Amino acid sequence: MADEQIPTIGRCYSCKRAFHYRLASVVTVAIDPETGLPPGMTVLGTFREPAPEAEARAVREPICPACVDRARRFEESTQPSALRLDP
Ligand SMILES: [Zn+2]
């Protein structure tokens, strides 16, 4: 688990900017590599119950703090939100 304390440079999935993060504390979002969208989210931006296979192939992509802030503000103004952010 020591690796998780090493700061990593990654690219924010949302805004594509490079930023430093720690694996142990970075906010990630599940992305289905086939659609480039969170599992269950359609290209129209609507949300439906994700298919189990979409959940299974989804990968966690890091999100920078600026985008997390934006997503949280967006969540407060529109419910329910399609983006599910995990701390
Ligand atoms: Zn970002």
- pLDDT for 30-39, tens place per residue? 999 998 888 9
Q: Phi first, then psi: what are they for 61, rounded to 5°?
A: -115, 140
Average pLDDT score, the chain: 84
For 45, left (φ over 0), alpha (ψ -120 to 50), or beta? left
20 alpha carbon to ligand 1 midpoint, in Å?
11
67 alpha carbon to ligand 1 midpoint, in Å?
4
pLDDT band at 26 (very low <50, low <70, confident <90, very high): very high
78 alpha carbon to ligand 1 midpoint, in Å?
20
Mean per-residue pLDDT for 12-32?
92
pLDDT band at 74 (very low <50, low <70, confident <90, very high): confident
34 alpha carbon to ligand 1 midpoint, in Å?
21
User: For the chain, where are the E strands, in sequence order?
Assistant: 7-11, 18-22, 27-31, 59-63
pLDDT band at 86 (very low <50, low <70, confident <90, very high): low
- The DSSP output letter for 26 is -
